[in-house]
Amino acid sequence: MEVQGESWLTTRLDTFIDWSRTNSFWPLPFGTACCAIEFMSTVSSHYDMARFGWEVVRFSPRQSDLMIVAGTITDKMGPVLKRIYDQMLDPKWVVSMGACACSGGFYRAYHVMQGIDELIPVDIYVPGCPPSPEGLIYGILQLKEKVGRDRAAMKKARKAKAKAKDAA
């Protein structure tokens, strides 16, 4: 009996892992202002994030793969945010929720960061002051599509690398 190839099992396993990453984010809320209240509304039964597979809200960065930064980030809070981001395992994604996290909001002060992208990479921006729960859900759905596209691109690169390795 001949096996189709030793890579068959790992390919199927990679497909399953990619599917689960795309459809099951484990969010870590980093709320510092009024946007955090809207995040609480989004997690409530009225909007039911569980229907998308995001119901497992984690408050430990080592168990999360999605950080939702909701609110004003001051210069003193910046290093804390960076440290928490660094503690998250790869792959990890960041959603910047609200005007303050996206661009500093109306706080044009010396002590407020003018967007968290100065400190950590942001995948999706959800504008608003504060954004509605529907807006946050839409933003996370856009992230889901982006993760699916990125995974497909990574697979193509992996296959091309394997072909180049076999040819050499």
The percent of residues in the chain predicted with pLDDT above 70, rounded, is 78
| Residue 1 binned pLDDT confidence (cut-offs 50, 70, 90) | very low
C-alpha 25 chain-centroid distance: 7
Let me know how long the chain is: 168
Set out the domains of the chain in order of their start, with CATH numbers.
7-167 (3.40.50.12280)
Q: Which of 5-19, 78-92, 139-153 has the highest mean pLDDT?
A: 78-92
Q: What is the pLDDT of residue 124?
A: 92
- Check: pTM over 0.85? Answer yes or no: no
pLDDT over 70 (residue 27): yes
The pLDDT value given to residue 25: 82
User: Span 27-55, mean pLDDT?
Assistant: 83
User: Does the pLDDT at position 120 exceed 60?
Assistant: yes
DSSP state of 50: G
Of 35, 38, 93, nearest to 64 (Cα)?
Answer: 93
- CB atoms under 10 Å from CB of 61, counted, come to 18
State mean pLDDT over 2-7.
56
pLDDT for 77 beyond 90: yes
Beta-bridged to residue 126, according to DSSP, are 97
For helices 34-43 and 133-167, the axis angle rounded to 10 degrees is 80
Question: Please, are residues 26 and 66 in contact by the beta-carbon 8 Å criterion?
Answer: yes
Residue 25: partners with Cβ closer than 8 Å, 6 or more residues away: 53, 54, 65, 66, 93, 140, 143, 144
| Cα gap 25→39, rounded to integer Å | 15
